[in-house]
Each structure stands twice: as structure tokens, then as C-alpha cells.
Structure 1
């Protein structure tokens, strides 16, 4: 597989070093102890949503599948581990033949989740599963945070399209992942060409203030842009005086001007004035795009303004104040021995301080009320109740080490739209609140 598909530099041969050293030291010790081959079940979940958030959004599943498939210890990686004396020769020999041959189940990308939801379940030997902890968490934590912020912004925007334009506000590789996650969460386009190239996301872009400043006059700048890009282009009108720029824009492009962009000032006030001016000039079909440090709250405040599209950067790629989803990767069951037929035993962290976990290999289902609206996230370790059998959330992603659930990015985007629409109406309120669905646990004896 081409590592460019992962947003990696072309000279990175694999994802195997996207991990923490303790994954390898645990592997080394488990190999020595004879416990490395015990069948194990790890689950990814979050104990709580970011403060005030009402739902989470699964983002990055497709990237996880690519990363797992490309998790290989090639000669360069093994040489690095040997030279640093991170593991011994026995462990290096084991790593040289590493391939994940287990199974992965998970919430499909774009689905919503709640505290405790088993967002991803990784099953195999302890050795093969433990190595994937960091790379899986790094992808899911980042992409889910961006997807959740994007979802809130798209809910606030309603039918008005959102443009992702945060590449210059984050790491260059994170920018590509952020654009992908934003598209899942409801954004329509991106300014980032790498994201367009790798994931097929529609791209947009016209000019910055530098282009206007380059020319001897604003009229010259507008004329150059229209001559090159056509009358349907978007002209940036706040370099100098907005009213004068709008007049000049229509004078140059005519009433067929595609759009104007406003990037500063009191956007609510300026948008109303620009709309009035455009209409008076006969450019009634010219759209208004606003940018300038927008977040979901600013977008909501512009709901009554004559705005046609929003461009969002910094607040989106930083998760609108919550740049991680606080997901963890915990062992919840393991076999009593290395015998492949040995039964699984539930295990769980029981320490104090709020970092406990619930043991056992879990299923998850979403119960609906009589109106067909979600009312609870139900988790269990025993048989799935008949009433929830067709409401299960986890799908098979990897079987016997082979990816079985690749899908177009648009499928995840459409799934999120449906999932969010199936939640109670209060889910999209921007005021702080508790998760919109409670998480209920059914123990094995309660299933029927």
C-alpha cells in the first residue's frame, strides 16, 4: 500500500513506529513469560465526553484500517530497535514476522457514541493486539475530536455549506486528517489540496489579501482574478473599505459575480450591509461567504444573517476547544492460557481515581423509543436481547487480519447525517449539557 494514502511522508515505510516504547517492552516480557500468545480482547472507549458535549462522533476508522494493514517491522525499523537496544534479539525475530491476524469490530465511521461505548474491539493474541494501542488511539482520538467539532458546526450552519480551511493552523499531516474528519462531520469542501488528492474531498480556493495588495489598485486585482477565474469567482472585499470593494467587484464582474468573502469586522452587521448593497447593485444572486475565527457559536449567531457559506479554520482543527476525545484502549478479557480453545476471562481495572473499566467482551445496541428516536446506548457481555438484535452497532472491520469493511468516505459522511438525525432534538443544542443518551449495562445473566 502507498504510504501517501495515510498522510505519511513517502520515506516512512510503515506505521510500526507510531507507537510507544512500552508496547514493545510489554511484548518482550510477555514472550519471556509465555503469556504473549494468550487470546485477548481490547476495547477502545471513552469514560466521558468532553465537558458539556452531548454526543461524540466516530472519526478515523478508515485510517485505522490502513494503519493496521501497514503495521510492518521492516529492515530499517528493526535496525533502529536493535541499535537502540529497545528489545532483545528474540523479540526482534518475532517482530520481523509480525502481521495482525486477528479480528477488529467497531462502530462504523460517522456513527455517534457515548461514554462507555465500545467504539472499537480488537481481538487476537495479546502480542499482536497490544502493539496496535498507540496508533489506533492517536488516529481515533484526533479524528473523532475534529469530526465532533465539525458535526456541531454543521448542525449550527443548517443548510449552509461549510468550508474547511485550517491547514495553516496545524501540523501539515494533521491538516489532511482533520480535513477528512471534517468532511465526515458535515463540511462540504476543503482548501487543502493534499486532502483532496488523498481522499477525493472537493477543494475550493480563490485569493488572499496578498493578491489585492500586490496590485496597484483593488480594481486591478479584481479584474485580474475575474479574467483568470471567471465571473463566478469569489472576491475578497475587506482589504480596504468593504462598501467600496463591493461596488468595484460588481463593476468588474457584473451582476453575475459568484460571491464575495468577508474576513473581518462585525460579521453580522457587515453581512447585512453587503447583502443590501449587492441587491441594490442588481447582484441578487451573488453569495456571501464569511470567515474569521468562526466556531459553532459564531456560526449559530449568524443564523439570521444573509450568509450563504462559512469558512472555518483554527477552531475546527483544534476540536473547538477539545482537541482529543480522551479515548483509551483497555484489555477487557483474556484467555486462561495460550491454548486457542481456552475460555476468555473478563478483566478490568479497578483502581480508584475515576479510571476504572468494565470487563468482558461487549456488544452495543441503541434502543429506540416508540417514536423511533434513540433513547439509550445499551451495552452487554451476554446474549443480546431479542428486542435489540437488529439495533446492534458494532460491525466487522477486520477478519483474520484481512480488512473487510472499506467504504467510500461519502458513506461515512451520510451515515453521520442519519445517526445525528436519530438522536433526541436536544443533541444539537450548543448549550452545555449531559450526554443526550444514557449508557446502560446489561450483565450476562440479564440477557435473553
Structure 2
């Protein structure tokens, strides 16, 4: 696969260095003492949701699969490790032929999750699994945070479309990933062309205030834009006086003007005034798009306003106050010995300070009431109860090193819409609260 498909610069040949130094030093020590080949099970989960969030959203799974496939130590990478003396020659030789050959199971992309949900399970030798920790967490923590914010905004927006426009507010590569995650979470389009190119997300955009300011008059700017893009374009009307701009916009484009965009001021008040003015001018089908530092709360406050679409930037790409999901990647089981037939032994961190974990290879299922609404996330290590056998959440993503669950981005988007609809109505409340359903562990 081309590195560009991962959102990487074309001169980066692999994802192998998207990791922490200590992953490789652990590997070196494990190779030396014979534990490297012990069969192991790692799980990704979060101990708690960000404050005030009622559910999480799994996003980035497709990017994780690409990253695992491209986790290769080529000549340039190996030379870097050798020059810095990061690992010894034995470890370098082992890394030269590294290919993940294990299995990965996980919640399918777009699914919702809760505290303790085993969002991803990675199985294989200790050596090959431990190397993937950092890259997996960096993708899932970022993308899931963006998707969760996007989902809350989509709930607040109802049927009104949302435009992702945060590329200029974050790192250029993070912007592409954020567009993808936002699309999974319910956004309908993006301003970022790289995201459109790599992931097929619809792209939109017309003009900024600079375009108006470079012309001798607002009328000249509108005339030029309509001449170039047609009367169905969106004209930005808050560079000078909004009422005058709306009047000029309709005079230039006619009553078939596609939309006007408002990017400042009291959006609720201005939107009502603009709608009234457009209707009086006969532009009854001209839509109103609002932007200007929106988040889910601002969107909800505009529910009664005559707004047709929202453009969201900064708050979206920063997770609306929660830029990470605090997911961790923990060893939960390992073989009793290096013998391939040795049984798995549950292991878990037991330190204080709220960072304990539960050992054992886990399954997860969502229990629903008689009307099909979720009422509990059930996570266990023993046999799956018969009543939950048809409600299990984890699906196999990688089998013996081969990706087996690629899917179109639209599938993840549709899955999230269905998953969110299957939660209790209180899941969409923006007021602070706990997870909308409890996580239960069968005894």
C-alpha cells in the first residue's frame, strides 16, 4: 500500500517508527531471556469516558489495519536504529524480517463503546504484539476522540448537515485523519481536499473574507464568484454589513442563490434576520450556513434558528475539549511458557491509583431490552452466556497476519448511526452525566 494512503508523506516508507523507544528495548530484553515468543493477548480499552460523555465511538480501525500492514523495518529504518545504538544486532536481525502474523479482533469501526469495553484485542507472540502498542493507541485515541465529538454534534444538529472545516486548526496529517473520523461520526462533508482524495469524503468550499476584501466592492466580489461558480454558490455575507450584503447577493445571483454563509456575530439573531430578509427578497430557497467556532452546545442552541447547515472547525478537530480517549493497551494474558501449546494465564496490573486492569482474554456483548434498546455492556472472560451469544461485539479484523475485514468508510458511518440509535435517548443529552449504560462483568 502507498504510504500516502495512510495520510503519510510519500517519503515515509513504513509505520515502524511510529512507536516509542521502550517498545524496542523491551523486545531486545525479551529476545535475550526467551520470553519474546510467548503467546500473548493484549487489549485496548479505557477505564473511563471523558468527563460528561455518555458513550464513546470507535474510529480509526481502518487506519489501524493499514498501519499494521505497513509496520516494516526497511533498510533506512534499521540503519537509523543501528546508528543510534537503540537495539543490538540480534534485535536488528529480528526486526528486519518483522511481519505481524497474529490475530486481531475488535469492535467494528463506528460502533459505540463504554468503560472496560475491549475495543481491540491483539494476539500473537509477545514480541510481535508489543511493537504495535504505540501506533495503535495513537490512531485509536485520536480518531475516536474526534468521532465522539462529531457524534455529539451530529445529534445536536439533527437532520441538518455538518461540514468539517478544521484543517487549518491542527497538524496537516492529523487534519486528514480528523476528517475521516468526523465522517464516521456523522459529518457529511469536509473542506480538506486530502481527505476527499484519500477517503472519498465529499468536499465543499467557496470563498473566504479575503476574496471579498481583494475586490473594490462587495458587489464586485459577489459578481466574480457567481460568474465563476454559478448562482447556486454560497456567498459569505458578514465581511461588512450583513443586511446590505444579503441584498446585494440576491441582486447579483438572483432568487436562485444557493446559500449565504454567516461567520460572526450573534448567530441566532442574525440567522433569523437573514431568513426574513431572504424571504422578503423572494429567495425563499436560499439556504443559510453558519460557522464561527461552533461546538455541540452552540449547535444545540441554534436548533430553533432558520439554519440549514453548520461548518465546524477548531472544536471538532480538538475533540471538543477531549482530544484523547485515554485508551490503553495492556497485556491481559500470556502463555505459561514458550511452548506453543502452553495454556494462557490471565495477568493484570494491580497497582493503586485507579490504574488497575482485569486479566484474561475477554468477550463483549450488548444486552438489550424487549424493545431493542441497549441496557448494559457485558464484558467477560468465561463462556459467553447463551442469551448473549448473538449479541457479541468483537469481529475478527486480522487472521494469521492477513487483514480480513476491510470495508468502505460508508459502512462505518452507517454502523455508527445505527449504534447510536440503539442507545437510550439520554445518550444524546449534552448535560454532564455518566455512561448511558453500565458495564457489567458476569461472576
The TM-score, its normalising length taken from structure 2, stands at: 1.00
Q: Are 2:150 and 1:141 equivalent residues in the alignment?
A: no
Q: Within 5 A, what are the aligned runs for 1:288-299?
A: 288-299=288-299
Q: Find the counterpart in structure 2 of residue 4 from structure 1.
A: 4
Structure 1: distance between partners of 2:149 and 2:334: 36
SS at match of 2:254: helix
Q: Deviations over 1:282-319 (max 9, x none)?
A: 00000000000000000000000000000000000000
Q: Are 2:158 and 1:158 equivalent residues in the alignment?
A: yes
Q: Deviations over 1:43-64 (max 9, x none)?
A: 0000000001000000100000
SS at match of 2:441: strand
Structure 2: distance between partners of 1:238 and 1:144: 34
Q: Within 5 A, what are the aligned runs for 1:380-419?
A: 380-419=380-419
Q: Find the counterpart in structure 2 of residue 332 from structure 1.
A: 332
Q: Deviations over 1:183-224 (max 9, x none)?
A: 000000000000000000000000000000010100000000
Structure 1: distance between partners of 2:128 and 2:441: 29
SS at match of 1:252: helix
SS at match of 2:420: helix
SS at match of 2:255: helix
Structure 1: distance between partners of 2:255 and 2:386: 62
Structure 1: distance between partners of 2:200 and 2:4: 14
Q: Are 2:191 and 1:191 equivalent residues in the alignment?
A: yes
Q: Within 5 A, what are the aligned runs for 1:218-233?
A: 218-233=218-233
5+ residue gaps, structure 2, are none
SS at match of 1:104: strand
Structure 1: distance between partners of 2:167 and 2:62: 21
Q: Within 5 A, what are the aligned runs for 1:66-85?
A: 66-85=66-85
Q: Find the counterpart in structure 2 of residue 432 from structure 1.
A: 432
SS at match of 1:379: strand
Q: Which runs of 4+ in 1 moved over 2 A?
A: none
Shift of 1:328: 0.1
Shift of 1:370: 1.5
Shift of 1:137: 0.0
Structure 2: distance between partners of 1:398 and 1:234: 45
Structure 2: distance between partners of 1:373 and 1:162: 27
Shift of 1:379: 0.5
Shift of 1:424: 0.2
Structure 1: distance between partners of 2:276 and 2:380: 58
Structure 2: distance between partners of 1:263 and 1:141: 31
5+ residue gaps, structure 1, are 444-448
SS at match of 1:72: coil
Shift of 1:442: 1.8
Q: Within 5 A, what are the aligned runs for 1:31-42?
A: 31-42=31-42
Structure 2: distance between partners of 1:333 and 1:287: 56
Q: Find the counterpart in structure 2 of residue 376 from structure 1.
A: 376
Q: Are 2:133 and 1:115 equivalent residues in the alignment?
A: no
SS at match of 1:256: coil
The TM-score, its normalising length taken from structure 1, stands at: 0.99
Q: Find the counterpart in structure 1 of residue 18 from structure 2.
A: 18
Number of residues of Structure 1 aligned to a counterpart in Structure 2: 443
Structure 1: distance between partners of 2:117 and 2:174: 25
Q: Find the counterpart in structure 1 of residue 87 from structure 2.
A: 87
Structure 1: distance between partners of 2:347 and 2:247: 69
Shift of 1:350: 0.3
Structure 2: distance between partners of 1:344 and 1:246: 69
Structure 1: distance between partners of 2:432 and 2:301: 16
Q: Deviations over 1:69-93 (max 9, x none)?
A: 0000000000000000000000000
The alignment's C-alpha RMSD in Å is: 0.3
Structure 1: distance between partners of 2:228 and 2:339: 69
Q: Find the counterpart in structure 2 of residue 236 from structure 1.
A: 236
SS at match of 1:211: helix
Q: Find the counterpart in structure 1 of residue 64 from structure 2.
A: 64
Shift of 1:371: 1.5
